[in-house]
Structure 1
Amino acid sequence: MPQNSIQYQYKPENFHLSEPNKYQPEQLKREEMILSLGPQHPSTHGVLRIEVITDGELIVDVVPHVGYLHRCFEKHAESMPYNQVIPYVDRMDYLAAMNNEHAYVMGVERMLGIEKEIPKRVEYIRVLVAELNRIASHFVAIGTYGLDIGAYTPFLWLMRDREHIQRLLEWTCGARMLYNYIWIGGLFYDLPVGFEERCRDFVRYLKPKLLELQKLVIENKIFIQRTANIGILPLPMAINYGCSGPILRASGLRFDLRRVDGYSVYPELEFEIPIGSGEMGTLGDCWDRNNVRVLECHESLRIIEQCLDRLQTDLKRTRDFDPQAMVPKKIRPKAMDFYIRAENPKGELGYFFRADGKSDIPFRCKARSCCFHNLSVLPEISKGALIADLIAIIGSLDLVMGEVDR
């Protein structure tokens, strides 16, 4: 043993196990510890670093650190023409690229004043592919959430069913995730011959699978115990932090831009807006957020069926139909500031444009990220929770960091 070391010896007289605790509770000091989750932690949904201040197993505070997946979308958009920005739009929320494109394209079309000239068949195809992508995005959210809290089977089931959607969209435009399909003034191409029939077969296949998913996951006793009364987000707090999408609706507010703004052909379609009920716990908890996503998948199937009905009856494909007929040769909006918003799978995605009237390149283009606002509420709903519950809370927010760090 080194000379400078101290040798500790066990002496029974130093331990008085039978003696009552001489320290009063108010004299005990809390010992806080700082933990770091990420940026490569598998349960932080991408490159998100969470700084957690804990007191034992209890969370005292949470500090999100972003910027590990910076897409530079806004500066890319300010250096190229409007129509060449679409591939970069795909890369923000890369799980819902069709929805990103739909919102961006609508904004530019309204700036040009051609939104009412878009053919109905084009509009219905846009809504059809956007709702397919909405289901695919929710499947990733619910499936990976099962992995976060220890359930492996739901992830396999949902990735299996999501693969059908990926193949349909790949058949449409040749890409599996980053599509570049919805163009300003039209589409890259019309739907392939036979797409409507195969899509209808998929809808018939998926309906009973969603009911199985509800029984396997949402109504599962263990799932309820892990998510009910966890990460409760009161409605006033959700509004103050700018939350939107399933996060906001799970707190009880029936707010959906497809109904509120009535863009594209959504006013012509029938569907419900699911909201949280607090059925298994408290309104606005993790269980409500996942339940709302599953219910939205049912409503998206209703929308898809209605789109297929229109596309196969009064909006049938014809030889003279050109989905690029309204695509402008030169895109040069008048000098203006313009904001457009749309209902993405994760919430309100908005684009702010500033056009100088002289160039076909946006002078300013800024994206309003729904994931960024939904992430900002994380510290408030995590305080007082357990470390294991923090993973469940993060997963329930359904974050994609490519949009947060845009």
Structure 2
Amino acid sequence: MEKRQIQYQFEDTHLKNSSENFYDPSKLKTEEMVLNLGPHHPSTHGVLRLEVLTDGEYVVELTPHLGYLHRCFEKHAENLNFQQIIPYVDRMDYMAAINSEHAFAMGVEKMMGISEKIPKRVEYIRVLVAELNRLASHFVAIGTYGLDIGATTPFLWMMRDREHILRLLEWISGARMLYNYIWVGGLYYDLPVGFEERCTEFITYFEPKLKELKELVMDNKIFIERTANVGVLPLDLAIDYGTSGPVLRGSGLAHDLRRVDGYSVYPELDFNIPIGEGKMGTVGDCWDRTNVRVEECWESLKIMKQCLAQLTTDHKRDRTFDPQALVPKKIRPKAMDFYSRAENPKGELGFFFRTNGKSDIPERVKARACSFCNLSVLEEISKGVLLSDLIAIIGSIDVVMGEVDR
């Protein structure tokens, strides 16, 4: 009995001393450690490597290492004629291939001086399918963002609804993701018979689903706690780093090239530009950036309805209509330097061309990719955050690595 009491007294003293040493902040020694986050981690979208200097669970410093996909878009483009480049444009932001085609085709048409001659039916079809693809891109952004921070159901819902869009786009082009549908001067083909009715059915189906998504995700208490006041991007910093799209608009600036530049038939359409307002936290946080994408889905539906109304009234289907009437056999612009841009789902996509006036192959092609510029601000807004919050910040930027490594 005496031996047991002595043993218990010794253990109690030992535990007491060890607990005092453990909980005394002055006696804790911290050590910084360098971690490689990715490229295998799902939140780095497969090919982004982040060199993270951590102090415990906190991020002290972060360096993004870009470029693991080796697509070499610009060098490919400098060895092909303009029409042959379009399938390669699809492979930059492969989640929004038609939007990228639209930006590229418009740039070449302006350079050739034929943009004003494009038939209105072609323009309305282009905008209709571009907004369909914008929806599909935002579905992936919102769904995978739910996975990044631990929610499975939004991803399954978004993939279910995205499938309807992919089937529609496959109907017009023959491909599910890489379409080659918008050509310089026109389209690959007119809309199939019955396409307008199917689009209307999709809009009717999806509007209540979008309301459910807002309740499931944006108004969810856990989602708000994971994203509100996290990864705050001040407006001045967003402008300094050249961010665009929902990343910039989430910081409170209503900058949308569909309004600012007024290209195609967008000036004739009625739609709003959602911005971050800090409803759940601070303006420019992860919640705001995600909410902008959800609100833009409503605006895309509004644009699609107006395009469908035009395509079934003033610019109806006509047997004599040829969507390839203005497609040139050979594109040989004058010698010049030219830049054109458009609003992709992720931001401003721009193309710079240099031509010599002798060849149908451009001397120089440079792509201003929105994902590349948006990702550059990650280093600034990730200092001092928890590692778990870093994952939420990466997902809120919505990067596609095909654009980052061109």
TM-score (structure 1 length as normaliser): 0.95
Is 1:184 the counterpart of 2:177? The answer is no
> Structure 1 counterpart of 2:121, which letter?
R
Q: 1:12 to 1:200 in 2, by over 3 A?
A: closer
* Partner of residue 307, structure 2: 307
Is 1:263 the counterpart of 2:254? The answer is no
* Partner of residue 133, structure 2: 133
CA deviation string 1:98-148 (max 9, x = no partner): 000000000100111000110000000000000000000000000000001
Runs of 4+ in 1 over 2 A off after TM superposition: 10-16, 18-30
Q: 1:33 to 1:85 in 2, by over 3 A?
A: same
> Structure 1 counterpart of 2:328, which letter?
P
* Partner of residue 379, structure 1: 379
CA deviation string 1:348-397 (max 9, x = no partner): 00000001111000000000011011100101111111011111000000
Q: Aligned partners of 1:214 and 1:109: how far apart in 2?
A: 39
* Partner of residue 237, structure 2: 237
CA deviation string 1:211-233 (max 9, x = no partner): 00000000000000000010000
Q: 1:65 to 1:268 in 2, by over 3 A?
A: same
Kept in 2, the 8 Å contact 1:46–1:400? The answer is no
- Counterparts of 1:79-228 in structure 2 under 5 Å? 79-228=79-228
Helix, strand or coil at the partner of 2:318: coil
Q: 1:26 to 1:269 in 2, by over 3 A?
A: same
User: How far off is 1:35 after superposition?
Assistant: 1.1
User: How far off is 1:23 after superposition?
Assistant: 12
Helix, strand or coil at the partner of 1:389: helix
Helix, strand or coil at the partner of 1:43: helix
Count of matched residue positions in the alignment of Structure 1 and Structure 2: 397
Q: Aligned partners of 1:332 and 1:13: how far apart in 2?
A: 88
Q: Aligned partners of 2:22 and 2:348: how far apart in 1?
A: 57
User: How far off is 1:30 after superposition?
Assistant: 3.4
Q: 1:17 to 1:258 in 2, by over 3 A?
A: same
Q: 1:56 to 1:87 in 2, by over 3 A?
A: same
TM-score (structure 2 length as normaliser): 0.95
Q: Aligned partners of 2:194 and 2:25: how far apart in 1?
A: 73
User: How far off is 1:236 after superposition?
Assistant: 0.3
Superposition CA RMSD, Å: 1.9
Q: 1:273 to 1:16 in 2, by over 3 A?
A: closer
Q: Aligned partners of 1:168 and 1:395: how far apart in 2?
A: 27
> Structure 2 counterpart of 1:221, which letter?
K
Kept in 1, the 8 Å contact 2:166–2:176? The answer is yes
User: How far off is 1:12 after superposition?
Assistant: 10
- Counterparts of 1:280-299 in structure 2 under 5 Å? 280-299=280-299
- Counterparts of 1:29-40 in structure 2 under 5 Å? 30-40=30-40
Q: Aligned partners of 1:86 and 1:167: how far apart in 2?
A: 21
Kept in 1, the 8 Å contact 2:22–2:28? The answer is no
Mind listing any 5+ residue stretches in structure 1 that lack a counterpart? Answer: 1-9
Q: Aligned partners of 1:301 and 1:42: how far apart in 2?
A: 30
Kept in 1, the 8 Å contact 2:21–2:27? The answer is no
Q: 1:13 to 1:350 in 2, by over 3 A?
A: same
Mind listing any 5+ residue stretches in structure 2 that lack a counterpart? Answer: 1-9
